[in-house]
Amino acid sequence: MNSERFGRTIQLTDHAKKRMSERDIDGARILDIIETGQAKYKDERHLWLFKGYQDRSDNLLCVAVLLSSALIVKTVMHHFTPWE
């Protein structure tokens, strides 16, 4: 997978893949969150990307990512609550 938004390839950690399976989230949905979701930055390299979906009752879906030479998806969350 590649992200046009961030101009990097997307790498999923084993932990992220496990969470995707547990939460019934496929690669297409992960890509949609990355490309069109809202971003909340911790710092210039660490961020959360999240998006709500009407067809799911466990909104918001979120991916925690690290920006390096690739966009590394560290984990996948549901019932995410962004803070101010």
pLDDT of residue 84: 65
pLDDT digits (tens, 9 = 90+) for 7-59: 999 999 999 999 999 999 999 999 999 999 999 999 999 999 999 999 999 98
Task: Assess if residue 34 is contained within a domain.
Answer: yes
Q: Which domain holds residue 52?
A: 2-77
Please provide residue 83's backbone torsions phi and psi, each rounded to the nearest 5 degrees.
Answer: -115, 160
Res 82: pLDDT: 87
82 inside domain? no
CB neighbourhood size of 39 (10 A) = 12
Q: Is 35 helix (H, G, I), strand (E, B) or coil?
A: helix
The angle formed by the CA atoms of residues 44, 50 and 57, to the nearest 5 degrees, is: 160
CATH number, domain of 19, equals: 3.30.2310
* Mean pLDDT of the 66-83 span: 95
